[in-house]
């Protein structure tokens, strides 16, 4: 369990070339210009300019009803673009960007708030020809002025990790006319992604609303920002409940991208202190849907009447995304964690195999890679292409010689018979601590320069205690003064931001086409203030490899560069890898429906599921739901 990073760039399932419906024109200077509805680096877009609806939706899905779910902790803000306050769940329902991806095409960005885009083969600039029917939630039209204003807003007021990376990518943004906006890129901007950054790097806000209200995206607020999305905040009780209502005058209701989507009249989030309380509320029918992240509860706690009688459904649904690399990460800003030997000693003490069998009911797989369960995951020894990238870094002393010949680093393996790792693993960990100068004191705890080797694991969820405490026992067995500090969600968020921890949970969500966004996760320039680079990683070899990924022009080049980066990140060992699963474990009352065949890259509960009113009436009559 972990708090997700602050949303900065929407995680699209594609990346920026020629496409179906593409035309080529020439300017007055005879420069060839591509005009298209979609942009892709690899292959062809799945959907042409005249498609009627997405393949994976039910175009006849009825509109109506309520989707209800839960969230943990509380909230005190409707701004998820600042590090101040705790943002409410579900706010993405209110926002839209110029380009969008789909759940069955990972490499393509499609015009959504635009009809077409124009750009030269050099991709030095792009013009978005905006739709003339897009309106904000108050009915006012969206124009190029709003796009340019929002872009500048993020460059001036966005959090540091965003501004530090992307400020240098834009030469200027010009409003050509009310429906046309032009982004011109600097030489520094990565050409493979430049157009995507412009089209989906941020949502579009109402310039007039911001000027009238004086709102800022770097401040916490309970007044939602005005945008163009299908939902608006209908009501809320800070920290307890938020309800989003479908905008009855939503501009995009008949847009082909939205046919069969956004089917619920309302979306309700109920807040609970912890998952156990939320589960009991679910059993009582207080809300209708939950994704279960607690393996013990999934295996043992779903034994209530509604499930037995078929009023509720428990299902494992396929997830084709890259495995989310869940982990604990070290705070590398602390001197004691800068020694890789000490980090390795800690990592050896987490017994995943025992945890999976005794605590997780064998529901999970071990995380080894930042691109787990995908073709981008590094395996074995380096390929020739990887060696070409790694050798110069070895020659300059930025990487050890062994990176060229060793197998890629894998998570430690243990027996599942008992929690305490093997004698061999403990002996290895003790030797590493000794080598690093941490000597056993009179009480058995490791000390150096008069200081104990203490380790605080920060967490906010009681459900995680049963996982962390056995890990702590193992750490203490080798003399590390480890302890769990469980705090409320607000303190947890603040302490994560402030770097007040030794280990903290973090989930690395990587995409199929990694690019400049990697800097937010791994670049030295983001180590001081980032919701993604929580570990404070500053490594010159990583910094040198990032451009190889960002500037890759072919899928083969991208895959090779990502393998090299993955290999180096894993060799640094700034994490204790945890686990992942390749399915969604969900439970819901039998009033929700979804297409028979789900797309590979999204579960789509808030997008293309729908409400069965007749089934809901039966459930209410039976007393299954409130």
Helix axes 340-348, 423-435, angle to 10 degrees: 160
Among the residue ranges 19-33, 151-165, 189-203, 233-247, the one predicted with the least confidence is 19-33
What gap in Å lies between CA 317 and CA 322, rounded to an integer? 15
Which comes out higher in pLDDT, residue 490 or 468? Answer: 468
**pLDDT (0 to 100) of residue 2:** 38
**String of DSSP letters for 11-77:** --S------TT-EEEE-TT--EEEEESEEESSS--SS-TT--S-TTS-TTPPP-SEEEEEEES---B
Task: Name the burial class of residue 512, with classes exposed (0-12), middle (13-18) and buried (19+) by CB atoms within 10 angstroms of its CB.
Answer: buried
* Span 292-336, pLDDT tens digits: 989 999 999 999 999 999 999 999 999 999 999 999 999 999 999
**pLDDT (0 to 100) of residue 130:** 98
pLDDT reading at 352 higher than 80: yes
With beta carbons less than 8 A apart as the criterion, state whether 377 and 560 touch.
no
**pLDDT (0 to 100) of residue 490:** 86
pLDDT reading at 393 higher than 70: yes
For the chain, what percent of residues have pLDDT higher than 70? 95
Residues 6+ away with beta carbon under 8 Å from 263: 61, 62, 63, 64, 608, 609, 610, 611
Region 604-625: mean pLDDT is 97
Q: Which domains does the chain have, with CATH numbers?
A: 274-316+582-626 (no CATH), 325-580 (3.10.105.10)
What gap in Å lies between CA 482 and CA 54, rounded to an integer? 51
pLDDT reading at 12 higher than 50: no
pLDDT reading at 11 higher than 80: no
What gap in Å lies between CA 244 and CA 496, rounded to an integer? 29
Which pairing describes strands 454-459 and 481-486: parallel, antiparallel, or unpaired?
parallel
Region 391-419: mean pLDDT is 96
**pLDDT (0 to 100) of residue 22:** 43
pLDDT reading at 8 higher than 60: no
Band of pLDDT at residue 353, cut at 50, 70 and 90: very high
**pLDDT (0 to 100) of residue 15:** 31
* Span 501-535, pLDDT tens digits: 999 999 999 999 999 999 999 999 999 877 899 99
pLDDT reading at 378 higher than 60: yes
* Span 561-594, pLDDT tens digits: 999 999 999 999 999 999 999 999 999 999 999 9
Rg (CA), the chain: 25
What gap in Å lies between CA 385 and CA 514, rounded to an integer? 18
What gap in Å lies between CA 233 and CA 128, rounded to an integer? 29
Band of pLDDT at residue 337, cut at 50, 70 and 90: very high
**pLDDT (0 to 100) of residue 30:** 52
pLDDT reading at 463 higher than 90: no
With beta carbons less than 8 A apart as the criterion, state whether 137 and 227 touch.
yes
Band of pLDDT at residue 5, cut at 50, 70 and 90: very low
Band of pLDDT at residue 160, cut at 50, 70 and 90: confident
Band of pLDDT at residue 167, cut at 50, 70 and 90: confident
Q: Mean pLDDT over all residues of the chain?
A: 93
**pLDDT (0 to 100) of residue 31:** 67
Query: Residue 312 carries which DSSP code?
Result: E
Residues 6+ away with beta carbon under 8 Å from 551: 190, 191, 192
What gap in Å lies between CA 275 and CA 562, rounded to an integer? 36
Q: Quickly list H helices, 440-554.
A: 465-477, 489-498, 518-522, 540-550
Tokens, residue 571? 């060799």
* Span 66-114, pLDDT tens digits: 999 999 999 999 999 988 888 999 999 999 999 999 999 999 999 999 9
pTM, two decimals, is 0.89
* Span 425-446, pLDDT tens digits: 999 999 999 999 999 998 889 9
Which comes out higher in pLDDT, residue 477 or 462? Answer: 477
């Amino acid at each position: 369990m972990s708090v997700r990073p602050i949303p900065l760039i929407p995680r699209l399932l594609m990346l920026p070339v020629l496409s179906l419906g593409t035309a080529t024109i020439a300017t007055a200077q005879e420069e060839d210009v591509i005009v298209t509805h979609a942009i892709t680096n690899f292959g062809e877009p799945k959907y042409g300019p005249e498609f009627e609806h997405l393949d994976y939706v039910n175009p006849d899905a009825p509109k109506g009803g309520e989707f209800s779910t839960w969230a943990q902790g509380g909230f005190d803000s409707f701004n998820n673009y600042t590090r101040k306050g705790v943002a409410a769940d579900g706010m993405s329902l209110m926002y839209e960007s110029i380009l969008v991806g789909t759940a069955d095409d990972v490499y393509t960005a499609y015009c959504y708030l635009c009809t077409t885009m124009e750009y030269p083969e050099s991709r030095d600039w792009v013009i978005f020809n905006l739709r003339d029917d897009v309106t904000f939630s108050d009915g006012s039209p969206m124009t190029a002025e709003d796009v340019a204003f929002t872009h500048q807003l993020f460059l001036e007021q966005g959090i540091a990790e965003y501004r530090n990376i992307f400020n240098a990518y834009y030469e200027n943004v010009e409003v050509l006319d009310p429906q046309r906006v032009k982004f011109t890129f600097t030489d520094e901007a990565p050409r493979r992604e430049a157009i995507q950054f412009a089209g989906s790097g941020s949502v579009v806000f109402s310039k007039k609303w911001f000027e009238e209200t004086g709102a800022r995206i770097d401040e916490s607020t309970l007044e939602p920002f005005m945008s163009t999305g299908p939902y608006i905040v209908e009501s809320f009780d800070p920290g307890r409940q938020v309800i989003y209502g479908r905008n009855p005058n939503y501009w995009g209701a008949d847009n082909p991208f939205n046919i069969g989507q956004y089917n619920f009249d309302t979306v309700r989030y109920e807040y609970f202190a912890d998952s156990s309380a939320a589960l009991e509320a679910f059993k009582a029918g207080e809300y209708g849907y939950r994704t279960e992240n607690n393996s013990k509860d999934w295996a043992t706690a779903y034994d209530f009447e509604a499930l037995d009688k078929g009023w509720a459904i428990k299902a494992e649904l396929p997830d084709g995304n890259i495995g989310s690399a869940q982990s604990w990460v070290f705070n590398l800003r602390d001197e004691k964690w800068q020694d890789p030997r000490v980090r390795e000693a800690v990592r050896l003490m987490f017994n995943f195999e025992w945890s999976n069998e005794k605590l997780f009911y064998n529901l999970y797989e071990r995380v080894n890679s930042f691109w787990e369960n995908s073709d981008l995951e590094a395996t074995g020894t380096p390929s020739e292409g990887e060696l070409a990238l790694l050798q110069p870094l070895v020659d300059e002393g930025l990487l050890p010689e062994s990176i060229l010949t060793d197998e890629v680093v894998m998570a430690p393996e243990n027996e599942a018979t008992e929690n305490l790792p093997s004698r061999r693993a403990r002996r290895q960990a003790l030797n590493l601590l000794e080598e690093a100068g941490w000597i056993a004191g009179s009480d058995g705890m490791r000390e150096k320069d008069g200081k104990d080797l203490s380790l605080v694991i920060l967490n906010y969820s009681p459900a995680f205690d049963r996982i962390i405490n056995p890990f702590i026992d193992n750490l203490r067995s080798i003399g590390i003064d480890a302890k769990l500090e469980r705090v409320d969600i607000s303190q947890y968020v603040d302490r994560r931001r402030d770097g007040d921890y030794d280990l903290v949970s973090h989930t690395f969500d990587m995409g199929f086409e990694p690019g400049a966004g990697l800097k937010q996760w791994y670049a030295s320039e983001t180590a001081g203030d980032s919701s993604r680079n929580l570990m404070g990683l500053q490594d010159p070899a990583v910094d040198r490899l990032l451009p190889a990924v960002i500037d890759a022009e072919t899928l083969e080049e991208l895959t090779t560069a990502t393998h090299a980066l993955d290999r180096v990140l894993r060799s640094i060992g700034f994490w204790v890898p945890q686990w992942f699963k390749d399915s969604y474990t969900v439970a819901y009352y039998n009033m929700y429906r979804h297409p028979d065949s789900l797309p590979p890259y999204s579960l789509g509960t808030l997008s293309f599921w729908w409400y069965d009113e007749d089934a809901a009436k039966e459930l209410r009559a039976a007393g299954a739901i409130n």
